[in-house]
């Protein structure tokens, strides 16, 4: 299935983005709760929950993903980790 960049929107069913190209850069301790990402043709990044691959996809601009990763590396998200 090919989808145009104009047809991609935040909260759309992740299955509508196709099954190829999803990666698991982060994984939960039991291996079953993973966040999956997919780089879209226009550079945006889709994020979905691996246990619900047909569920909603969150769509982020490259700058948003870069800011998030930078913040994590700087420890700005440490309060989100259980511990």
User: CB neighbours of 71 closer than 8 A, spacing ≥ 6?
Assistant: 77
Cα separation of 41 and 11, whole Å? 18
Q: Is 43 helix (H, G, I), strand (E, B) or coil?
A: coil
CA distance 2 to 7: 10
Q: Is the pTM of this model over 0.95?
A: no
Question: pLDDT category, 31, cuts 50, 70, 90?
Answer: low
Domain ranges of the chain: 9-80
Instruction: Give the total residue count for the chain.
Output: 83
pLDDT tens string 42-77:
999 999 998 899 999 999 999 999 999 999 999 999
Please indicate whether residue 32 or residue 52 has the higher confidence score (pLDDT).
Answer: 52
Q: Name the band, by pLDDT with cuts 50, 70 and 90, for residue 21.
A: very high
């Amino acid at each position: 299935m090919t989808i145009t960049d104009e047809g991609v929107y935040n909260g759309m069913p992740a299955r509508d983005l196709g099954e190829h190209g999803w990666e698991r850069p982060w994984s939960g301790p039991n291996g079953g709760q993973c966040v999956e990402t997919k780089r879209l043709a226009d550079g945006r990044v889709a994020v979905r929950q691996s246990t619900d691959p047909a569920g909603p996809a969150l769509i982020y601009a490259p700058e948003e993903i870069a800011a998030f990763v930078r913040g994590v590396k700087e420890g700005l998200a440490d309060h989100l980790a259980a511990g």
